[in-house]
């Protein structure tokens, strides 16, 4: 399965899961889908038959509220039986509404924002000290860049030259109930990251070739930051760029419309 097919499958599954669970965050799931598809489909070294393989690359999903997309990606790659996705959000299910380490392929339970990058920095430093070849990828939301813990981690990673660490920021320009710019402006985000000593690339977060190149390029000894400019709700016309889909769940009629758009390639 190529990354474009993987992205379509993730979108379809996440839409069904959020609808069935009457859950939130479908807009957030759809904005980072292409990033997940590139990481799982083109970049990371993982083995679904051995989720705990010592040589695997580590993906830390700090943006834990986009769990439906993460679980969909894991199922598509074979870490989970796809039938288990129907349990998403149910009482007693390990497929919780925020990413859970109880799920094969998940490195860290997340959802409380601002913790993924510090955790990933620790993992990258450990790999350096162990002489291990595996890499660490951290997927963050733009809104959580408000958290001071991230900026401490950014300084630490640059100071130690952790070039085995890549942070990808899903920059969809919305957080909670408003735009990022109205809540706490981040710009110039790329220049700030660069000033903190990181190699920075800004790309279209839905362009698979551009993403793959950005997360694999030589950084000459620096940690890598990819600012992925995305669209909240990407792939579904009535969700794109609409802050309401941070919390809203599609009813049966809207679900069918959304699935049809993804199937015929609105994205």
**What are the tens digits of pLDDT across the range 205-256?**
999 999 999 999 999 999 999 999 999 999 999 999 999 999 999 999 999 9
Q: Are 108 and 143 in contact (CB under 8 A)?
A: no
C-alpha closest to that of 18 among 69, 64, 62 = 69
Fold of the 3-263 domain: Rossmann fold (3.40.50)
How high is the mean pLDDT of the chain?
96
Q: Is 253 exposed, middle or buried (0-12, 13-18, 19+ CB in 10 A)?
A: exposed
The pTM assigned to this predicted structure is: 0.96
Q: In the predicted model, what is the mean pLDDT of residues 61-73?
A: 97
Beta strands in 114-160 (DSSP E): 136-141
Percentage of the chain lying above the pLDDT 70 cut: 99
Q: What is the pLDDT of residue 161?
A: 98
The secondary structure of residue 231, as a DSSP letter, is: -
Q: What is the pLDDT of residue 266?
A: 60
Residues 6+ apart with CB under 8 A from 221: 161, 163
**What are the tens digits of pLDDT across the range 149-201?**
999 999 999 999 999 999 999 999 999 889 999 999 999 999 999 999 999 99
Alpha-carbon distance of 216 to 213, in angstroms, equals 5
Alpha-carbon distance of 63 to 27, in angstroms, equals 13
Q: Are 232 and 245 in contact (CB under 8 A)?
A: yes
Residue 60, beta-bridge partner list: 138
C-alpha closest to that of 32 among 57, 65, 76 = 65
Q: What is the pLDDT of residue 112?
A: 87
**What are the tens digits of pLDDT across the range 88-128?**
999 999 999 999 999 999 999 998 899 999 999 999 999 99
Q: Are 136 and 128 in contact (CB under 8 A)?
A: no
């Amino acid at each position: 399965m190529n990354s474009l097919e993987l992205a379509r499958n993730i979108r379809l599954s996440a839409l069904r899961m959020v609808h069935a669970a009457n859950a939130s965050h479908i807009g957030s799931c759809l904005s980072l889908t292409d990033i997940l598809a590139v990481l799982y489909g083109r970049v990371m070294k993982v083995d679904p038959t051995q989720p705990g393989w010592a040589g695997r690359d580590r993906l830390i999903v700090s943006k834990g509220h986009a769990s439906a997309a993460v679980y969909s990606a894991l199922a598509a790659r074979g870490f989970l039986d796809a039938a288990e996705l129907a349990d998403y959000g149910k009482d007693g299910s390990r497929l919780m509404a925020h990413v859970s380490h109880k799920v094969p392929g998940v490195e860290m339970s997340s959802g409380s924002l601002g913790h993924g990058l510090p955790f990933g920095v620790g993992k990258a430093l450990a790999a350096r000290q162990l002489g291990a070849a595996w890499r660490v990828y951290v997927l963050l939301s733009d809104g959580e860049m408000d958290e001071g813990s991230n900026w401490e981690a950014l300084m630490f990673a640059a100071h130690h030259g952790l070039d085995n660490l890549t942070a990808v920021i899903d920059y969809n320009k919305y957080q909670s109930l408003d735009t990022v710019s109205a809540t706490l402006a981040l710009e110039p985000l790329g220049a700030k990251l660069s000033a903190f000593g990181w190699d920075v690339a800004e790309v279209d977060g839905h362009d698979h070739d551009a993403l793959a190149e950005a997360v694999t390029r030589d950084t000459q000894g620096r940690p890598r930051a990819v600012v992925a400019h995305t669209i909240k709700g990407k792939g579904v016309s009535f969700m794109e760029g609409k802050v309401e889909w941070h919390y809203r769940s599609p009813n049966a009629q809207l679900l069918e419309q959304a699935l049809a758009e993804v199937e015929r390639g609105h994205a």
